[in-house]
Structure 1
Amino acid sequence: MAETKREIERKYEATGETPVPDLTRVRGVSEVLDRGVMELDAVYYDTPDLRLAADALTLRRRTGGDDAGWHLKFPVASGIRDEIRAPLADTLPGELAGLVRSRVRESEVVPVVRLRSARDVRQLVDADGTLLAELSVDTVHAERLPGGAVATWTEIEVELADDTDPAFLDAVEKRLRKAGIGPAASASKLARALAETGGGPRTKAAPGKPGTAGAAVLAYVREQVEAIVAYDPGVRRDLPDAVHQMRVACRRLRSAFKTYRRVLDRERTDPLGEELKWLAAELGVARDQEVLDERLRARVKALPRTLVLGPVRARLRFRAVALGADARQQALTALDSARHLALLEALDALLADPPLGKAAGRDARKVLARAVRHDHDRLAGRIGHALALDPGHERDLALHEARKAAKRARYAADAARPTLGKPAKRLAKRVKAVQSLLGEHQDAVVARAALRELAVQAHGAGESAFTWGLLYGREEAAAEAAERELPEVWARASAPGLKAALSR
């Protein structure tokens, strides 16, 4: 089984003659323990065109030291990475292969660099002997594979121990800087090795002529495609919010294809939109279940104990576990499917050879402003239709359709923000408020259906259905409150001049 370790470290330039200063002068350090020199031998793997390196991921098989095995590192923030470790084996473990699949696709990962390091380790401990950080002086010999150029260098690495305040690294760095030791230019050993032995991955050129609608829309499309790829391993790792963010990226991209259909040819984008709809739906089962579970638990928690009759919490937990496991497996099955990989390849092909329409070469401000206004008008029609209906099932359906239109209008404004600036930002904010209110209404509608099902199950098991009925009534009230509030919130999102400002 793979395990994950959060790695917080900083790297510094050094030579073989660089002396390490006295670090007991750093506040909190009582002693520096010399742990000797260990020999490390690591082979780094990537696709021939270095797709992992392009996204700052590293995949290696390392022997030597106390953590020999396969290591896959994902960047989290500057100087912070999640390292996922798997036992030493001759071939790449399946779990790690899954985590790189959205980037690797059907390509084979091959050895690209071998790093052999002599690591001189010092441990920084406090007065109680608790480890604060580990400093190592690494003498590195890099070789490009197969049989390519070589490079050697020395660097200093300081890695924070678990539970140590990250501010401790600032204190260590201050001491190192006083000794003339500055930060390393490369974020990782692999990045430096690639740069010094033949070059790293190619930079992605911005498509389209600057200032045109094509360039603006394609930049947004690329951003969403990269998000879908990046959140794939997060979903597999069951990271918080990963499913939601990947699903949002699918929706944003699909929405962009519809909103900017005069910029990108629909003959190419419509089929992709259908595939994005499929992927979002497969992911949505898990996300929707998660949202519903959180809502129902919060509703029960808010009730006085005297109104919680029967095994209400236990039934909710049972439902969450039973449905949640199935939903997660459905999402993972989709990510492992040939259909998902084909979608990623098709999105890459679209960016490599974009199907530009007639409006692509026109001024971005005019084209994008017109598209945003069109989606806002579409939303106005949906809301007007819903509010004209009597309360009930048909109105609920119409409000749900209005919610979808609000998302599309908001995403259109978000995509236009780099071009249209504050007016697009202001419009997106107002429309988001409408979307959120309609989302609250829809969540209440969905919750009522689940509560009715739970009440039927409780009654069939001989339990009291009182609490479920009470919660049902509260969800009815929540939906009604959202409907009453909608005209006022919509009035702010459709204020005179809000759309007109887009063209100024």
Structure 2
Amino acid sequence: MADTKREIERKYEATPETRLPELTRVAGVAAVADHGMAELDAVYYDTADLRLAAASITLRRRTGGADAGWHLKLPVAPGVRDEIGVPLSDEIPRTLRALVRARVRGAELLPVVRLRSSRRLWLLTDADGRLLAEVSRDAVRARRLLGEGEGEGTGEGTGGAEGSGREAAWDEIEVELGDDADPAVLDRVHKKLTKAGLRASAAPSKLARALAETGLEVPGHRHRLAEPVDAGGHLLVHLREHIEALLAYDPAIRRNLPDSVHQARVSTRRLRSAFRSYGKVLDRAVTDPIGEELKWLAGELGVARDQEVLAERLRSRIDALPRSLLLGPVRGRLRIWTTAQGSGARRRALTTLDSRRYLALLDSLDALLADPPLLGPAARPPRPVFAKALVKEYARLAARVEHALELPPGPERDLALHDARKAAKRARYAGEAATPALGGPAKRFARRTKAVQTVLGDHQDSVVARDALRNLAIQAHAAGESAFTWGLLHGQEQRSAADRERELPGVWAEATDQEVRELLDG
């Protein structure tokens, strides 16, 4: 069983002579309890090319102290990590292997560094005895394991002498926020420590410092680019951002964190949009096959996300109805339907993330950044290249919206509006990708096309909801229940769709005014 906690901490440089100031003088701290000394022994694992460290991820097996076991730390924000703990075992737990699979893929996880720390711990509590923060003083001894001879992987012996390049030692002070405590506590403790002469550590973690001081160079971003000056450079920065986001959301999906599937799908869509909108910059003979795989991934993940959004829409509709209009076990029927649909969708998403096809897609994205298939316009200044692409996307969107508006209400118009929605989303994403290069004009273009997308998206949600409501009504009727409420909700969704269709011409007029035309043509 894995346990997860949010770790919010700050680290400070220290020497054997460093003394902590009186922390009971920190506002809100009523008592400082000395919890004595503990000897901690941790072996950190990574690939031979340090892929986890490059992504600020740490995986360790630690003995000693109150939390002995396996720990995986995933970055959330500077100074903030989620720590997933699993009980001690000889092998890396399968749970943790799955959470780093998108980073590691087929590479072997090896012991890279061993850290032994003599830790003295103090607990800072308030007047009610609630834990505000833990303050620890660590005397750390680090030894590099990666590259050692066969049989030395756990580093039980002392090996070479300190200073040989394989070993390092330092002292540090760490302040970790207590569970549910106010983060302002860290600011107040920080003020007290710095006033006493302590300096914040330059290293973000013990592992980062150990790697640096034992001669293991962590690669920078896997495909770090120079400041972009041409169209190709700007586009590659955009692609790198969303490839990295896709990798970061992988463990979040596996942990079933809120909105993780949605955000991963957004990254796949932005990547596909960039490939198609900027096909004059990157060779589509290379990017189209990758785009098809991204479409596959979004579709597999989308089953879970689409079901979640639809269920929430139907619940909100039911909650808004007077009790007198809820005939039969309406909420129970929806709960049964949602559970049946949702459980299969999550299994499908996890199976997708464990598939060879998905890992091959990640390899393809890596290869794209490592050796981008740039075409001639990639070397040109970004403004004309990106502006021309936006004009093309605008024309494509205009043709689809105007075609849909010419059709009478009905299924054919619904399909046409759905196509227009997809074009609006693609145009919006193209505008957002162009914003760093074009500034305000692209930003306004993205904002206006997003407004069109929003109206069309709500219309499409209504189309999908009506189909689900019809199926729920059929199920209710077959079970001898009243189908009245489902029919009522179906009518509400029809009215909602009609409202969006009436709203669309005005929103579209805003997106096609002279200001936008001049910005794009210029």
Normalised TM-score (structure 2)? 0.95
Q: Within 5 A, what are the aligned runs for 1:465-480?
A: 465-480=483-498
Q: Quote the residue 2:241 is aligned against.
A: 223
Q: What is the deviation of 1:162?
A: 1.1
Corresponding residue for 1:198? 215
Figure out how many residues of one structure are paired with residues of the other and give that number.
Answer: 504
Which of these residues, 319, 334, 347, is aligned with residue 352 of structure 2?
334
Deviates more, 1:174-183 or 1:468-477: 174-183
State the alpha-carbon separation in 2 of the partners of residues 412 and 277 from structure 1: 17
| Residues 125 and 502 of structure 1: CA distance in aligned 2, closer, same or farther (over 3 Å) | same
| Closer/same/farther in 2, CA of residues 364 and 142 from structure 1, 3 Å limit | same
Partner of 1:88: 88
Task: Determine the C-alpha separation between the residues in 2 that align with 1:499 and 1:257.
Answer: 24
Identity %: 64
| Partner residue, 2:410 | 392
Secondary structure at the aligned position of 1:124 is classed as strand
Alpha-carbon deviations, 1:285-342, whole Å to 9, x = none? 0000000000000000000111111100011111111110100111110000000000
Does 2:257 correspond to 1:239? yes
**Amino acid corresponding to residue 382 of structure 2 in structure 1:** A
Which of residues 239, 264, 272 in structure 1 aligns to 2:282? Answer: 264
Give 4+ residue runs of structure 1 displaced > 6 Å after superposition.
none
Q: Distance in 2 between matches of 1:410 and 1:289?
A: 24
Partner of 1:100: 100
Q: How does 1:169-208 map to 2 (within 5 A)?
A: 169-204=186-221, 206-207=224-225
2:19 aligns with 19
Q: How does 1:67-466 map to 2 (within 5 A)?
A: 67-146=67-146, 147=148, 149-204=166-221, 206-207=224-225, 210-466=228-484
Trace 1:36-51 onto structure 2 (pairs within 5 A): 36-51=36-51
1:208/1:214 contact within 8 Å kept: no
CA contact (8 A) 2:228 2:237 kept: no
State the distance in 1 between where 2:484 and 2:493 align.
14
**1:211-230 per-position Cα deviation (integer Å, ceiling 9, x unaligned):** 21111111111111111111
Tell me the residue number matched to 2:152. none
User: Which residue of 1 is the match for residue 29 of structure 2?
Assistant: 29
2:47/2:104 contact within 8 Å kept: yes
d(CA) in 1 for partners of 2:100 and 2:274?
27
Q: What amino acid is the match of 2:351?
A: T
State the secondary structure of the residue aligned to 1:239. coil
Q: Which residue in 2 is equivalent to 1:4?
A: 4
Closer/same/farther in 2, CA of residues 201 and 339 from structure 1, 3 Å limit:
same
- Residue 166 of structure 1 aligns to which amino acid in structure 2? P
- Residue 497 of structure 1 aligns to a residue whose secondary structure is helix
**How far apart are the structure 2 equivalents of 1:206 and 1:213?**
16
The answer to whether the 8 Å contact 1:406/1:434 transfers is: yes
Question: What SS does the corresponding residue of 2:514 show, helix, strand or coil?
Answer: coil
Counterpart-to-counterpart distance in 1, 2:521 and 2:49: 43
Mapped partners of 1:298, 1:388: distance in 2: 33
* Mapped contact 2:391–2:521 kept (Cα < 8 A): no
**What is the alpha-carbon root mean square deviation over aligned residues?**
1.2
List per-residue Cα deviations over 1:117-162 (Å, max 9, x = no partner).
Answer: 0001111122333322111100000111134611111000111111
1:209 and 1:361 in contact (8 A); partners too: no
Cα offset, 1:364, TM superposition = 1.1
Q: Unpaired segments of 5 or more residues in structure 1?
A: none
Offset at residue 262 of structure 1 (A): 1.0
Task: Provide TM-score, normalisation by structure 1.
Answer: 0.98
Q: CA deviation at 1:164?
A: 1.2
